[in-house]
Structure 1
């Protein structure tokens, strides 16, 4: 088999994927913010571990999702230089990243059910069956809601970029400089 047969297909999408890179400052700052939120989640889940009778699994959700976020950060930060340009990540690390990310996604959906199913628990009467510590619940609620807000903003920005690209591309095809 010759070299060209073993190479990845040369399509526009694959070329864009190969050429895409996140600026180091953006990558580092997003990992720092995500790490800080993960550590805060672990801390809040641990401090208020048994203070949510309405849904005793919310502290578990915060702790486990915080840990899995830190594992994802660690796996994406591993030294992956093999001398090639751009640096290549080993298939084993990529598979592990995929498994942990899938677990994180499934656990996120499960946490949504736990959090939103008891919306507006009792914050003051600690003997109530629907009691949940206010700080614990509101942190879990707003961190989860923040993910949806950021997802919505990302999708909106992506749609705007796609529309802009389509308009510019259509203008270029018609001979109008874009």
Structure 2
């Protein structure tokens, strides 16, 4: 039973990693964290009312870029392993070449957990000063935030919320489809 699940996971990972669209999509997605880091660096002192907003963009952009770069490296490594396994054939001792990258699993988990916690903190920092003054008031010159910085931060958070909702919907659909197909395979209603 476990070997069958492992073989199905291997086939699924092989198809995903072997897809050139995945690598193209990851390269395109790399633009967002790089832009976040750039905006964070450029506007580090432009939001005195909540100085953590530019820091949120900077750290999230750097760690996000690292995460996407590791995903790109893993996908490229998987493509080379798959092409090697096609040349060698199925006589290879290691039936599952993706196991060679299994030690990186923990790095991905730690980075993902950090990014999720950083995302929650970013929500707090950005929305705790929802619609701040964009022009420094005369009587309190520290109570403002640069408009382009704040709007970009809200955009990044809205994009992340949309991605989480989409991921949740896809997970629910996969769960429902797996249960429906399992019941039909065994003749249950």
Q: Verify same fold: TM over 0.5.
A: yes
More helix by share: 2
Q: In the alignment, which of 161, 164, 167 is matched to residue 177 of structure 2?
A: 164
Matching of residue 86 in structure 1 with residue 78 in structure 2: no
Which residues of 2 match residues 1-178 of structure 1 at below 5 A? 10=2, 13-21=5-13, 22=16, 23-76=18-71, 77-78=73-74, 79=77, 84=94, 85-87=96-98, 88-89=100-101, 91=103, 93-125=104-136, 128-174=141-187
Distance 1:175 1:115, change over 3 A: closer
Q: CA deviation at 1:37?
A: 0.3
Indicate conservation of the 8 Å contact 1:68/1:100, yes or no: yes
Counterpart CA distance in 2 for 1:90 and 1:156 is 27
Indicate conservation of the 8 Å contact 1:55/1:118, yes or no: yes
* Gap regions ≥5 residues in structure 2: 85-93
Indicate conservation of the 8 Å contact 1:41/1:63, yes or no: yes
Counterpart CA distance in 1 for 2:124 and 2:179 is 38
Distance 1:43 1:167, change over 3 A: same
* Gap regions ≥5 residues in structure 1: 1-8
Output the TM-score relative to the length of structure 2: 0.74
Indicate conservation of the 8 Å contact 1:38/1:70, yes or no: yes
State the structure with bigger RCO (CA 8 A, min sep 6), 1 or 2: 2
Note the alpha carbon deviations across 1:34-69, whole angstroms, 9 max, x for none: 210011101111121111122101111111111101
- The number of residues matched between the two structures is 167
Distance 1:51 1:169, change over 3 A: same
State the secondary structure of the residue aligned to 1:123: coil
Counterpart CA distance in 1 for 2:44 and 2:119 is 18
Q: Name the Cα RMSD after superposition.
A: 2.6
Q: CA deviation at 1:72?
A: 1.2
Distance 1:15 1:130, change over 3 A: farther
Counterpart CA distance in 2 for 1:12 and 1:58 is 47
